[in-house]
Structures are given as structure tokens and as C-alpha cells.
Structure 1
Amino acid sequence: MTTAVGFIMLAIIVILLLTNKTSIIPVFGIIPIVAALILGYGLKDIQGFMNNGFSSVLNTVVLFSFAVMFFSLLSDVGMFDVIVNRVMKYLGNNVLVVLYIACFVTVISHLDGSGATTALVTIPTMLPIFKKMKIRPVCIVFVMSIMSGAMNITPWCASMLRVTSVTGLDAQVLWRYLAPIQGFAIIVGLLLMIPVAMLEKRNGAGMTDAEFMELKMSLSKPAQVKVSRPVLIFDMLLTLLMIVGLLLGWFGTAIGFIVAFGLALVANFRTVKEQGAAIKQYGGPAINMVMTILAIGVLVGVMNGTGMIEGMTNAILSILPESLGRHLCFLVSLFVVPINTIIGSDNVYFALTPIMQSLVSTYGVTDLALATAIVVPCALAANVTLIGPSPYLALGLADCTMGEHLKYSFKWIWLLAVLCTVFGGIIGKIPF
């Protein structure tokens, strides 16, 4: 009963998200509660589930609130216009080059292993350029998802640390084992930018010669900014300090953005009245996403508290007959991306992997092979999961919906994951 209700609930959620029938807050905030009531849980029980869910997303709520207000402030005063104008002078009218620059920024910003840092550095930096080039905002989320997914397979990233904590492997040993697959993922990810660039061009990305000449003429004029030059320089230095500090781990993301927003607010708005008006202005976009993330907390809490996750995981595995034996590892790897989308990365690592470990070990499949089969596609799919706050941080920064993101990105990410699994099988890392 619990498992069936879980699958029906997620099917309804996915349909509503993909068809844009309603906003994400009632989808995640109401449907899980109704599902829990159907299963016979009382309101006190459901409140307990929700509280646990809220605890799991609290850090993201704090981070997102101040990060969005910080970048909204800088955008409003014109700092990003100055940067974009200078960059566009050298980029030219080439959609593919813009995508590759976004790939490069993603790879560099993900060196610390933090998906939040990657989103907070990549999207505010590249989104204004994407808009100038008429590339859809959802494309920057896709580019970031593909390249950060490939970079997720490094020893210090959360994906590797989770799978090694379950299997008992050393992260460094596992990384050396699957490094060829990671290299393959990065190369194929870069190659995928070619058809994506063509797709964006067909959708109107890029500029005509006349538009490009007009843009070049406008770029020769100084960008309009609302603050003095010293304040603008301060804003740029503060932003640079934030990016470098996040990449090098000098401070946590939450405390960094709380302090940075406070400094930017005081520097750009001198009176208490102006600062209050700015908080109201920039807090609007932030509060919408905070409500979304808290609604996700409801979904996560209910699914874990009612046992839906455990039941759904066992149901997915029961579909695969044990007679497949040695091939089970490869077959599950092919479908980790959609499984991850449904039950979330944590549950793939902490619920699915231990069960798989006990099943395939009797057929001579090593823990290294199993961990590779799980972590490669799951890391690539980190930003297409319905359960978990991380994708929604990126979507909020890009002002996109999960439905738009899944329609645009899911097929490419699953394709890349399947190709990586097949490549892993060919070179003997994942048993066929």
C-alpha cells in the first residue's frame, strides 16, 4: 500500500510539473500531505515528518535567501552589465563558444566539490551573457548539470563520499578505478554542446549581423550603473573575494553570503530607509524560492517518514530477476538516472546500493565495479532529482521551473549516463 501510494504520488507530481498545471509550492506542499493522510497517518505524525524534512533543507534556505539578494543587488546597480559588455566584445556572435565558456566556468567552480558553489558562481556569471545571445536560461542549468555531474566523480565530492561510506571503499582507490570513465564523461559532455548549440540556434539563439553590429555599437558606450565608480569597484572586489573564498574553502557558503550581502547593502545604500527598500525589493525573488525549498522539505519528510522510499527502492529492485546475476549491476546502472530522479541521490546511495551489494556479491561482482556502476550515473543526474534542494537552487538563480529543466535536460543527461555505463563495460570497469 505504502509503495503504491508513493509511486502514484510521484507520478502525479511529475505530470503536474511537466505540464505546468500549477506552481511547485502546492505540488510539493499539498500532495505529500494528502498521500500521508490516505496511508492513515494523523496530522501530528505528518507534522513530525515535515519537521524532519525542514531540517534537511534548512541550510539551503539560509544560503539561498542571502545569495539571491546579494546577486539581485549587484545586478540592479549595474555591475553585471559592465562585466558582460566587456566579455561580449571578445566573444563574438558564436553560441557554441558561449556554451564552452559556461562549461569551463562550471568545471573550475566545481573544483571544491560543492554543487551550491557551482550554481552560485556559474549561473549569475553566465546568465546575463546567455540572455544577450538569446540562449534560453534553462540551457545554463543544463550546461552546469552536465559538467558538474562529470566533475562530481572526484574523491572529495559528496557523491564519492556517500558511495564509499556505504561500500567501505577508499575514495582515492575508487577514483583511480573509474578515472577513465570520468574523462570519457567530460569529453562526451563537451561534444554534446554541439547539438545543443544547434538546437538553441534553431530556437532563435545568436544574433543577425545587423543585431550584432548594433550590439557592438552599444558596447562601445559605457554601461549604465546606479552607483559611483569607487562603489562599483568595491562591488567587483567583494564578488571576486566571494568566488575565490568559496572555491578555496575560506568560509562556508551561508556565512559568506550573509556577510557579503550586509557589506554590499551598506556600501550601495547609505540610509536606513534606502536599505529597507532594497531588502523589500530583492527579498521578493528570494522568498519565492525559500517557499519552494520548504515545500520540498515536506515531500522529503513525508516520503522518508512513511517508508515510501524504502518500499519504492525494494519494488524497483524486485522487478529485476536475480537470475540475471552478474548482469544485474550493468542493467541497474543503465536506469540509475530515472531511479535517482524518483527517489533522490541519498536514497540511491544509502538504500539501493547496500541491497545491490548483497545481491551481486554472490556472482563475483566486486565492490569497485558496483560503486562505479552506481556513482557515475547518479553523479551525472545530481541536478535532475525531484527530491533534494540542490537542483532548485540552480533553477531559482536561472528563473526556470523543474518541468522546463526536465524537458530540456533529462534526455541528454540520461544519454550521457548510458554512454558512460556502456564505455565502462567495454573497458572492463562495469561487468556486462
Structure 2
Amino acid sequence: MLVILGFLMVAVFMYLILTKRATPVVALTLVPVAFGLLAGAGLGIGDMITDGIKSLAPTAALLFFAIIFFGIMIDVGLFDPLVKGILKLVKNDPMKLVVGTAVLAMVVSLDGDGSTTFIIVTSAMLPLYLKLGVSPVILTVVAGLANGTMNIIPWGGPTVRAASALGISPSEVFIPMVPSLIVGLIIVLAFSVHLGIMERRRIGSLVYDRQLVKQGASTDTTTGRDGGTGTGGGDGSAGQFIDGLDPNRNTLRPKLLWFNATLTVVLLVVLVMDILPIPVLFMIAASIALAVNFPKVKEQGEAIARHSSSIVSVVAMVLAAAILTGVFQGTGMVEAMAEWLLNVIPSGMGPYLAVITGVLSLPFTFFMTNDAFYFGILPVLSETAAQYGIEPVEMARASITGQAFHLQSPLVPAILLLVTLAGVSLADHHKKVLWRAAVISLTMLVVGVALGQIPFG
């Protein structure tokens, strides 16, 4: 029964999200509560939800103060020179802009934190997308694919989790998978080029059609050219960012440019060194940035209020996602689904468990947290695979190939932050990104098999 309820809960949730019949916050709240009660949670559902919120509270704090910090850096003009430099390089070419977005996301992803990556990429690139008329959905797709592919770096999280769960070294897992990572990044660039060319053609057609309209031609020729993507979102976040880069805004602090740049670099360096918890780092950095750039209390309040819509949207979705994870784990649905899966795998498929694990890592890490998959399901799969001579390190390598797909999950706070800042609906993002992410993940798995890092049979 738990297995059926688990799969039904996932199906109902995804249906509501993809068909836009409910916002992510509403779906993440009501669907798990309803199915949790059907699973017999009773009044205990309160404790389950509380446990889920406790587990994601640090993430909510991180996003809260990260948005404030980088929002302040945008307000004071830290990223203005970068935007101007990129604009010179792309030369109003949508294709170059999209490829530049992918490269920037790959480089920034080296810090291992998706939220930081998306804040920097969005703040630097979104104004250019809006200026050129390129759909912000393309930005979220490219940035999401780049960061998801890079997510297998040892300090990013999944590789460490897989290694810790199976008692092996992260380097044993990651280093042999470097060729798979390189191929995955090449595919990301290929998708970026294709999407950029499509946007270049679409924008060119729109410009041509507008010229015809000005000349008195029928306005019917412009109908449906952009496929409904538009050049902005419905929550005002995109407009907020483009307004924030007004060269004449009164929040600019040119005399503090080097201070703000140094503070940002120090923050990222300390973040990579892992000296303090990331939420604590952003709390301290945001407070310093506020105090130095806006010494008056009124100015500090106004600085926070300018980014309040983004803060409320993303933090609300994170806390709502905690309800789903809490119910999933508290009711035992995760364990029941894992046991069912092991029972339905024919014994003859045992020698292929590494590849099966790689394929299953796509849906499993999409519908549950990395912690639940790597610490709850992977050890069970690895123990079963050991009976067929498959080493734990080989299972770990296979398990991380689904990260490009995993990162697009609504349970990942970073992706919620990305779509919120870009003003893009999660449904529009998923329609363009999911199949591309699946291609990248499965290709990385195939490369691992071809090079002998992941056993097949």
C-alpha cells in the first residue's frame, strides 16, 4: 500500500505542477499532507513535517541571506562591469549569450554550491537576456544543465554522500568519472549552441514581423512566434533585476567597489575551504555588506525590502518542499518503494545492477533528496550487487550519473531559487530541461560503462 501511495503522490504532484493547476507551494503542501493521512500518519504527520522543516531550515537560512547579499552586490554595482564586458563579447548575438551563460555557470559551479552559482549567473546574465529579447527560460535551462552536470565534483555533495554511505574514498569515485564529466559538459555546450541558434532565428523573425507591422502589414504574422515563452516571468523578479542595473540608480557605491569585490571573493574562498557552515557565512557576509554600504538603519531596511519578493517566494517553496520530504520519509514510503524495487528486479538482472542503479538514479534522486537516496537506497542496492561481484565503488560511480536530472527537481532549493530569480515558471523550465538533462545523465552512464568504470554484466 505504501508503494502505491508513494508513486501516486509523486504522480499527482507532478501533474499539478506541469499542468499549472497549482503553484509549487500549494502542491508541495497539500499533496503530501493528503497522502500522508491516507498512509495512516494521523496526528503524527505534524512531527513528520516538523522533522522535514528542521532538516531544510539551514537551507532556507542560506537562501534568505544569500539573496540579500548578492542582491546588495547588484544594487551597489559590483556586477555592472562584468555585465558590460559580457555584452561587448556577445555583440548582441543570442547564440553567444546562451553559450556564455553555460560557460559562466560551469566555472562558477566549481564552488560546489548551486544557490551561489545561480545567483551570480542570473544577476550577471538576465539583464542581457531581457535586453536582447532572449527568453529567460533558456537561461534557467542552460544554467541548470551546467550546474547539474558539474554537481558530481567531490565537494559538491552527491559524490561525498555516495562515498560516505559505502565507506570508500570520494576520489576513488570521482577521478575515474572525469571523462564522463567532460562528455557531459560538451553536451551541455552543444545544447547551448542549439538553443542559442533557435533564439537567434526566433528573435530575427520577430524583428522582421515588427518591421512589416510598422509598414502596415497584417499583425497576424506575429502570432505565436515565441511559443509563449516571452521575455519575462510573471512574478516580477526579472524586472527587479533589470531595474537593479540602472546606471543612474541611487544605490550605486563606486567608492566601495574594491571593498565589495574583496568581501565577495573572501566569502567564496572561505565557502570552498568549508571552515564554517554556509548559512553562517552568508549571514555574516550579508550583515557586513549591509552595514558598510548602507550605514543608516532606514537604508538597510529598504535594501532588504527591495529583494523581499524573491526571498519570500524561494523560502516558502523550500519550507513547502520540507513537507514532502518529511512525509515521504516519516511514513516509510521511501523504504517501501526501495524494497519493492529490489523485489521486482529479476535475479537474472543481478549482474547489471550497476547500470540499473545509474538509470534509477534519475527518477529516484528527482523525487527524493540526495540524502534519502544515497544513505537509504544506495547501500541496499550495493549490498545486493555485491552478491554478483560488483564493487561498492562501481555502484557509487553509477549512482552519481543522474545528478544532471536530479538538480531539476522541485525538491532542490537551488533550482527553485533559479526559476524565481529569472521570473520563470517551474513548469516552463521542466518542459525544456528534463529530456535534455536525461540525455546528459544517460550519456555519462554510457561513457562510464564504455570505459570500464561501471560494470555491465
Question: What band does the TM-score fall into relative to the shorter chain?
Answer: 0.7 to 0.9
Residue 288 in structure 1 maps to residue 287 in structure 2: no
Moved more, 119-128 or 55-64: 119-128
Q: What is the TM-score normalised by the length of structure 2?
A: 0.82
Instruction: Determine helix, strand or coil for the equivalent of 2:190.
Output: helix
Aligned to 2:2: 2
Residue 431 in structure 1 maps to residue 455 in structure 2: yes
CA deviation after TM superposition for structure 1 residue 185, in Å: 1.8
Write out per-residue CA displacement over residues 191-237 of structure 1, whole angstroms, 9 at most, x where no aligned residue.
2222222333355389969x9xxxxxxxxxx9323145325665455
Instruction: Determine helix, strand or coil for the equivalent of 2:41.
Output: coil
Give distance in 2, aligned partners of 1:186 and 1:273.
46
Instruction: Determine helix, strand or coil for the equivalent of 2:110.
Output: coil
Cα pair distance change 1:315/1:70, threshold 3 Å: same
8 Å contact kept, 1:134–1:206: no
Mind listing any 5+ residue stretches in structure 2 that lack a counterpart? 211-245
Amino acid at match of 2:373: V
8 Å contact kept, 2:318–2:411: no
CA deviation after TM superposition for structure 1 residue 57, in Å: 0.8
Matching of residues 109-188 of structure 1 within 5 Å: 109-188=108-187
Instruction: Determine helix, strand or coil for the equivalent of 1:381.
Output: helix
Instruction: Determine helix, strand or coil for the equivalent of 2:106.
Output: helix
Mind listing any 5+ residue stretches in structure 1 that lack a counterpart? 212-221
Cα pair distance change 1:272/1:386, threshold 3 Å: closer
Give percent identity, aligned residues only.
Answer: 27
Moved more, 227-236 or 48-57: 227-236
CA deviation after TM superposition for structure 1 residue 150, in Å: 2.8
Aligned to 1:95: 94
CA deviation after TM superposition for structure 1 residue 56, in Å: 1.1
Write out per-residue CA displacement over residues 259-307 of structure 1, whole angstroms, 9 at most, x where no aligned residue.
3333443444454334334433432321222111111111111111001
CA deviation after TM superposition for structure 1 residue 18, in Å: 0.6
Give distance in 1, aligned partners of 2:304 and 2:350.
59
Moved more, 20-29 or 198-207: 198-207
Amino acid at match of 1:17: I
Amino acid at match of 2:149: A
Moved more, 161-170 or 172-181: 172-181
Cα pair distance change 1:136/1:206, threshold 3 Å: farther
Give distance in 2, aligned partners of 1:360 and 1:131.
50
Moved more, 239-248 or 108-117: 239-248
8 Å contact kept, 2:99–2:196: no
Give distance in 1, aligned partners of 2:288 and 2:154.
35
Moved more, 232-241 or 21-30: 232-241
Residue 358 in structure 1 maps to residue 357 in structure 2: no
Moved more, 78-87 or 4-13: 78-87
Cα pair distance change 1:229/1:361, threshold 3 Å: closer
Give distance in 1, aligned partners of 2:101 and 2:330.
39
CA deviation after TM superposition for structure 1 residue 77, in Å: 5.4
Aligned to 1:216: none
Cα pair distance change 1:276/1:223, threshold 3 Å: closer
- 2:346 paired residue among 321, 328, 337: 321
Cα pair distance change 1:95/1:305, threshold 3 Å: same
CA deviation after TM superposition for structure 1 residue 253, in Å: 3.3
Aligned to 1:34: 34
Aligned to 2:15: 15
Aligned to 2:394: 369
Amino acid at match of 1:5: L
8 Å contact kept, 1:313–1:352: yes
CA deviation after TM superposition for structure 1 residue 404, in Å: 2.4
Write out per-residue CA displacement over residues 307-363 of structure 1, whole angstroms, 9 at most, x where no aligned residue.
111112223344432222212322342342123212332222122212221222222
Cα pair distance change 1:301/1:419, threshold 3 Å: same
Aligned to 1:230: 255
Give distance in 2, aligned partners of 1:128 and 1:283.
19
Write out per-residue CA displacement over residues 21-62 of structure 1, whole angstroms, 9 at most, x where no aligned residue.
12111111122111112222222x111111110111111111
Amino acid at match of 2:131: K
8 Å contact kept, 2:77–2:254: no
Write out per-residue CA displacement over residues 93-151 of structure 1, whole angstroms, 9 at most, x where no aligned residue.
22332233223322322223233332333332332233333332233332233222332
Instruction: Determine helix, strand or coil for the equivalent of 2:448.
Output: helix
Aligned to 2:287: 262
Amino acid at match of 1:414: A
Amino acid at match of 1:180: P
Moved more, 392-401 or 21-30: 392-401
Cα pair distance change 1:248/1:138, threshold 3 Å: farther
Moved more, 355-364 or 313-322: 313-322
Give distance in 1, aligned partners of 2:418 and 2:293.
26
Give distance in 2, aligned partners of 1:165 and 1:243.
25
After superposition, the CA RMSD in angstroms is 2.8
Cα pair distance change 1:19/1:203, threshold 3 Å: farther
Matching of residues 206-245 of structure 1 within 5 Å: 223-226=247-250, 227=252, 229-231=254-256, 234-245=259-270
